Structure 1
Amino acid sequence: MSIAKQIEEFFKETGQEVFIEAEGRPSVIEKFIDEYNCRYGHHIDEDENGIIVLQDDANKWGLELRMYFNDKSGIPSAINVTKTRGYRGEYLYRINDIQLIRDMFSLGYEIGRN
């Protein structure tokens, strides 16, 4: 079973809310939104809750995808979970893994609240 399927099963078993966000410079976010809408059949834009557009001169070069949740008890051990600091304080934990989160999109998860 793939890691994404294991995470999906974990979230289903624990019945918890998951929040996914994307962050990047304007050109990075524009490219992500175009790809996301085309690939997954959505119609989000820069104003979507879960999209963070940084300034053009931000000291970040690529896309960041983060998945937030509150209960990590029983999460598969192969997953790197960190405590949430800064924004999204309503969630205790997050996963920063672009490929895993893209795989979650393929399973039906979306930008924003899931």
Structure 2
Amino acid sequence: MSVHTTAVVAGPDEDGIAVALEDEGVDVSRIDGVISRPQLEEAGVVEADLYVLTDVGQATTIPIVCDLNEDVRTVVYARRTVPEFVKGQLDIAIDPQLMDATVVADELVD
């Protein structure tokens, strides 16, 4: 990863992954609501190191993100199971009930 890490956090963030990443020195862009390709591009996903999705209902964004940026690490940080169709393009899926956001952020940045 680059010396200065950037991330796009998409979806609601009740578990605080965006703040945890910022505490690790990551530049974080946020997207909420129904996510579109133009919103992803505007948020900087084309240059981002990490794409963190917190809403499994928006899993269709993962193939879009991978299409826009082949070097991005894709992460789902959500309580619900990831749909089969995105598992091949996903680097890691973590349940917030099993791993605290600060631990996840530390692991993602190291």
TM-score, length basis structure 2: 0.32
Higher relative contact order (CA 8 A, sep 6+): 1
Structure with max Cα Rg:
1
TM-score, length basis structure 1: 0.31
